[in-house]
């Protein structure tokens, strides 16, 4: 089937996974000319398929492609690194859109050490071992792909939020930076996401803000900031409700997922709020997992 050379680097500080696809050698000929038009597709398991697929460009008429292309996953946490697997598939692009699978390999991310690049040179496999994350069950020529979610909560995606209490402006500045791997809500396999903020309780009309709508994407970049006029001493008693919605024309919007930051929250959400209260005039960014609550 051929061999694939690639490297992986988990950048812990920036919560990102860098996958550099270097080259493949001796790929199986897929086209009538004895060659192939190969590209590489990445997929994080378990996870919603469409939102976390990345792919390289296609190289034409070669069985020994050299891509030297780096694909980056954002919003990757230490927890993801412990429990996720990266599936790397090499495919042949067909001009009629029937792309063919050549072979794949899977890397359990817990094999990587943070901030250390690891190089791989691996023979591609055709069959997926049944012990791995998926089972392929042939049903009269069709393949049914079952992905075991590993007792996983349904994944809704993640959001990158910044918090800063500004002494100069006398209030809280909330930044909605971006979301990754959102659950798809529309029939086209995408969503039209926007984010709503609500500082509660007792903030009246000034409590709510919302971002612009980003069309047809599961990985929207917002880069918007919102200001709450509030005394530092009052902030400790509040909590910030963040929710991500899919905009639908003429219908009610679909809830994708949300999270609540505040003194009554737990884990990262509590830590983020506490760090903001403690470090005035310092912008603190954190990724939060969206819950379906």
> Does the residue 269 lie in any domain?
yes
The phi and psi torsions of 192 (rounded to 5 degrees) equal: -115, 80
Q: Give strand pairing partners of 4.
A: 24, 122
Report the C-alpha gap between 258 and 238 in whole angstroms. 17
On whether both 111 and 170 belong to a single domain, the answer is no
Q: Give the domain CATH number at 185.
A: 2.60.40.150
Pair 86, 179 in one domain:
no
Percent helix, strand, coil in the chain (nearest 5)? 10, 45, 40
Q: Are residues 172 and 111 in the same domain?
A: no
Q: Are 281 and 163 in contact (CB under 8 A)?
A: no
Last residue of a domain, one of 87, 115, 147: 147
Where among 118, 147, 176 does a domain terminate?
A: 147
**Residue 142 confidence (pLDDT):** 37
Q: Are residues 40 and 71 in the same domain?
A: yes
Among candidate residues 127, 147, 167, the one where a domain is terminated: 147
Does 152 fall in a domain? no
The DSSP bridge partners found for residue 254 are 246
Instruction: Indicate whether 208 and 83 sit together in one domain.
Output: no
Bridge partners of 72, per DSSP, are: 18
Calpha distance 74→284 (Å, rounded): 17
SS3 at position 219: coil
Q: Which two tokens stand for residue 152?
A: 């996983």
Lookup: tokens for 107? 């890397």
3-class DSSP state for residue 78?
helix
What pLDDT shows up at residue 250? 75
The structural domain count of the chain equals 2
In order along its 293 residues, the chain shows pLDDT tens digits of 899 999 999 999 999 999 999 999 999 887 788 889 999 999 888 876 567 889 999 999 999 999 999 999 999 989 899 989 999 999 998 877 678 889 899 999 999 999 999 999 999 988 554 433 333 333 333 333 333 333 344 578 999 999 999 999 999 999 999 999 998 877 777 889 999 999 998 778 889 999 999 999 999 999 999 999 999 999 999 999 999 999 988 778 889 999 999 989 999 999 999 999 999 999 999 999 998 86
In a domain, 153, yes or no: no
- CB half-sphere exposure, 245, CA atoms < 13 A: 18
Based on the domain organization, do 183 and 136 belong to the same domain?
no
User: CA distances (Å), 269 to each of 50, 77, 155, 210, in order?
Assistant: 27, 14, 17, 20
Q: What residue numbers bound the domain in which 123 lies?
A: 3-147
pLDDT of the residue at 204? 81
Question: Which pLDDT score is estimated for 131?
Answer: 39
């Amino acid at each position: 089937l051929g061999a694939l050379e690639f490297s992986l680097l988990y950048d812990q500080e920036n919560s990102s996974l860098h996958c550099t696809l270097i080259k493949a050698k001796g790929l199986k000929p897929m086209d009538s000319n004895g060659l192939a038009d190969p590209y590489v597709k990445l997929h994080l398991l378990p996870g919603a398929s469409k939102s976390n697929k990345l792919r390289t460009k296609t190289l034409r008429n070669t069985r020994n492609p050299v891509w030297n292309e780096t694909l980056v996953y954002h919003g990757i946490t230490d927890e993801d690194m412990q429990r996720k697997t990266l599936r790397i598939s090499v495919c042949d692009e067909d001009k009629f859109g029937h792309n063919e699978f050549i072979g794949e390999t899977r890397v359990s991310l817990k094999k990587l050490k943070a901030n250390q690049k690891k190089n791989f040179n691996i023979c591609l496999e055709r069959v997926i071992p049944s012990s791995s994350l998926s089972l392929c069950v042939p049903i009269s020529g069709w393949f049914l792909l079952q992905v075991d979610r590993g007792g996983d909560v349904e994944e809704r995606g993640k959001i990158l939020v910044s918090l800063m209490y500004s002494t100069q402006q006398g209030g809280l500045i909330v930044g909605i930076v971006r979301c990754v791997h959102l659950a798809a809500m529309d029939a086209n396999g995408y969503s039209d996401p926007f984010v709503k903020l609500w500082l509660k309780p007792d903030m009246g009309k000034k409590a709510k803000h919302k971002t612009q709508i980003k069309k047809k994407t599961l990985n929207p970049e917002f880069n918007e900031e919102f200001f709450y006029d509030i005394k530092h001493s009052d902030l400790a008693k509040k909590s910030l409700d963040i929710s991500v919605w899919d905009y639908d024309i003429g219908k009610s919007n679909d809830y994708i997922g949300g999270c609540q930051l505040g003194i009554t929250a737990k884990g990262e959400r509590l830590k983020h709020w506490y760090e903001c209260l403690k470090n005035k005039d310092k912008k603190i960014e954190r990724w939060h997992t969206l819950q379906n609550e």
